[in-house]
Amino acid sequence: MTADTAIHDPTKRNVLLLCAALALSNTGAVLMMSVTALAGTYLAREGVTYWLPFIGDFPETALPTLALSTMFVGTMSIAPAAALLMGRIGRRAGFTLGQMIGLIGACTSMYALFEQSFWTFVLGGYLIGAHAAFWQQYRFAVADTASPEFKPKAISYVMIGPLIAGLLGPEIAKHASDLFAPVLFAGAYAGIGVLTILAILILQFVRIPTPPRRKPGDSTGRPFSIMVKEPKFLIAVLAGMVGYSSMSFLMTATPLAMIDCGFIKEDAFFVIQWHVVAMFAPSFFTGSLISKFGAPRIILTGAMLYLISVAINLSGIEMIQFLSSLVLVGIGWNFMFVGATTMLTDFAEPEEKPKVQGVNDFLVFGSVTIASFLSGAIQQAYGWETITLTVAGPVLIAGMCVLFLAGRANRVAAAE
């Protein structure tokens, strides 16, 4: 980077703005994670059943996390289109559109709670998820103007913003849930709407150049048949899928498990609050750790933290176990997710970024969708111990795969 470029380098400005926008968006996400399963339980009707192939009659009361699952369906299904759209119209316009979709989703969820409509509530969850497909790209956007040396730190720093979400999200959930009593939880979704409006205002100051329009004959980069054989791509996608889905699986089930164990909803909000702080507090130093030790080692450290959290969960069902386990899950998620994101941005050439980022988010949030849906059903049917043990297998397998692929990548580099 030349001296002139450094003077006009927009990266630090973008880091600050996207950090603030991500704080607002993640506060909304924490609100969703804190109240949606409880709101789904509030709306689900006793005596209403649905017939499902291979399962038979399935009660609506067994679907408390369905709106949360459809949120992830929205993120998964819109992620490729969101990435490609921003490749054409630019980051700022794409992010603004995403926040507008989030505002519509929040209003839909509020309406559903006032009208006591379970399926309208599920639709609101999908729209909020679709808006998340756009703001999940903040971590990639900050790398667009960063130098190779600063890129890991830029990605890590922008993830610091959600620390505010860890503090504010559960507090808003606690104080706003009864704002429109006797209609419970509607105030939380009003809060999400306000957060999207604030994010729209901040995003107007982001400065990321709109990519030049691709001309016929321009290269679109490597075909996927080549990319899926690359260890870097495989490690990044696998770490993102397992790290995020395992976190969602445990985070979704924890409030339900705590209520089943006799805790009150304020206790559940407190545990979620410190979990979210643990998710993003390591971002002060994760980028430096990646620069020093490499992304694969940091990803493996995150996987080890997940396994320790499993052992803690199996040791008891007191507040200290719920809290300490979910804090370790938060740190493990940070190491795996920031490591995976860094590897993916290093792997993709500029012309490949929209499709690589879109496919990655489709796969990551596809796995999260399945995890969040199964989480509520498994918790209701089999209990907390089964939830905990279910996480151990995928994390262990992912860790072994990362070890193998990292070794393969080192051998390829040595041969070259």
Query: What is residue 376's predicted lDDT score, i.e. its pLDDT?
Result: 74
Query: What is residue 2's predicted lDDT score, i.e. its pLDDT?
Result: 40
Looking at the domain that runs over 3-211+224-415, which CATH code has it been given?
1.20.1250.20
pLDDT tens string 307-352:
999 999 999 999 999 999 999 999 999 999 989 988 888 887 777 7
Query: What is residue 122's predicted lDDT score, i.e. its pLDDT?
Result: 94
Largest CA distance in the chain: 70
Hey, what are 198's tokens?
Answer: 């604030």
Output the DSSP codes for 151-168: HHHHHHHHTTTHHHHHHH
Spell out the residues 6+ positions from residue 46 whose beta carbon is closer than 8 angstroms to its own. 61
Residue 211 CA: distances (Å) to CA of 11, 88, 275, 353: 16, 7, 37, 11
Q: How far is it, in rounded angstroms, from Cα 37 to Cα 34?
A: 7
pLDDT tens string 127-166:
999 999 999 888 778 777 777 777 777 777 777 777 777 7
pLDDT tens string 188-216:
999 999 999 999 999 999 888 776 666 66
Q: Are 69 and 124 in contact (CB under 8 A)?
A: no
Query: What is residue 154's predicted lDDT score, i.e. its pLDDT?
Result: 78
Which position has the higher pLDDT, 142 or 107?
Answer: 107
Ordered by start, the domain boundaries in the chain are: 3-211+224-415
Compute the chain's Rg from CA coordinates: 21
Query: What is residue 4's predicted lDDT score, i.e. its pLDDT?
Result: 39
**Smallest Cα–Cα separation from 346: which of 261, 416, 287?**
287
